[in-house]
Amino acid sequence: MSTPIKVLVEGVGPQGDAWKGMLQEKGFLVQSIEEAGDGLDVQFALEVTNSDLTIKRQRVQKLDQMLPTGIPLLVTTLAVTATEVASWTRHPQRVCGFGTFLPLEEGNLIEIAPALQTDPSILAQAATFFSALGKETEVVEDEVGLVFPRILSLIINEAIFALIERVAEPEDIDQGMKLGTNYPFGPLRWADRVGLDEVYSVIDGLHREMKEERYRPAPLLRKMVLAGWLGEGVGRGFYTYEIEKEGNYAKQS
């Protein structure tokens, strides 16, 4: 049996625990900065914070200082470009972007986005790493929110604008999109599953990056994030969820 690959995972918000869980399940040895201490002999480091870019920057800079220079630093780029994250570090060539939305076990594809500064060997290692998780990969150019999180977030944003304008009830918006277009989930229910903070991170990140009205976040989305109504994970989003058993929620209404 081969020695398990050691991975350092950092990240506040829903993606931190999700990535730790998935990597452990796939046989990786997962550590946090605290657990790793001074002897950082990991082969990969992941930084997966999306909702707070100040924290993300601190974590990325700390990892960059602690890790040997050749270790790939793989960062989620839902709210910021990989190029910008790389610019925060002293070793930008080892930074590579990636990302998808939760739940991680449902999607079978991970998008990888190299920064302008990313070394080709780091990109190759990133692709190998995600393939080892049993995921297909697509390498796309570096832009906030990649492809899937960007498109889904804008669908959700439009559904929220329609909700704000009282065009229809949440259930009718979701039912319309499921039955009229065959989407796997209605957009508001989907937002609850992904986490409203994650969706907001993508739209706000695009708005900040592109400086276009097109990417204006729906005000109700921002308010719900501020209120802590982040979706299924906390029991309340566009719908409310009753705790079934610890850590699991069932849709209530």
Partner 1 sequence: MEIKRVGIIGAGTMGAGIAQVCLQSGYQVFLCDANQQVLDKAKGSITARLQKLNQEDTLSNLNLITQIVDLASCHVVIEAVPERLELKRAIFQELAQVCSDDSLLLSNTSSISITEIAAGIPHPERILGFHFFNPAPVMPLVEVIVGYQSGQEEAEQALQFAAKLGKKPVKVKDSPGFIVNRVARPYYNEALRIVGDGIASVEQIDRIMTGAGGFKMGPFALQDLIGIDINFATTQSVYQGFFQESRFKPSRLQERMVQAGTLGKKTGGGFYEYTN
CB of 171 to partner 1, least distance (A): 8
Task: State both tokens at 110.
Answer: 């991970």
Indicate which single residue of 179, 227, 243, 250 sits in contact with partner 1 (rule: CB under 8 A).
179
Using a 10 angstrom Cβ sphere, with 0-12 exposed, 13-18 middle and 19 or more buried, the burial of residue 64 is buried
Asked if residue 168 binds partner 1 (CB under 8 A), the reply is yes
Asked if residue 212 binds partner 1 (CB under 8 A), the reply is yes
CB of 104 to partner 1, least distance (A): 10
Asked if residue 220 binds partner 1 (CB under 8 A), the reply is no
**For residue 170, is the peptide bond before it cis, meaning its omega torsion is within 30 degrees of 0?**
no
| Residue 115: closest CA among 75, 174, 57, 67 | 75
Indicate which single residue of 54, 214, 245, 246 sits in contact with partner 1 (rule: CB under 8 A).
214
Tell me whether residue 133 or residue 234 sits nearer to partner 1 (CB atom): 133
Task: State both tokens at 241.
Answer: 């969820």
Asked if residue 211 binds partner 1 (CB under 8 A), the reply is no
CB of 144 to partner 1, least distance (A): 10
Asked if residue 164 binds partner 1 (CB under 8 A), the reply is no
CA dihedral defined by 190, 195, 197, 199, rounded to 10 degrees? -30
| Residue 137: closest CA among 102, 172, 97 | 97
Beta-strand relationship, 73-76 and 44-47: parallel
CB of 239 to partner 1, least distance (A): 16
Asked if residue 148 binds partner 1 (CB under 8 A), the reply is yes
- Draw the binding track, 100-129, toward partner 1 (x: CB under 8 A; -: no contact): xx----xxxxxx------------------
Asked if residue 143 binds partner 1 (CB under 8 A), the reply is yes
- The one-character DSSP state at 13 is S
Number of residues in contact with partner 1 under rule CB under 8 A: 46
- Residue 170 has, within 13 A of its CA and on its CB side, a CA count of 15
| Residue 94: closest CA among 73, 121, 66 | 73
- The contact set with partner 1 (CB under 8 A) reads 100-101, 106-111, 136, 138, 140-141, 143, 146-148, 150-152, 154-155, 157-159, 162, 165-169, 172-173, 175-177, 179-184, 187, 212-214, 216
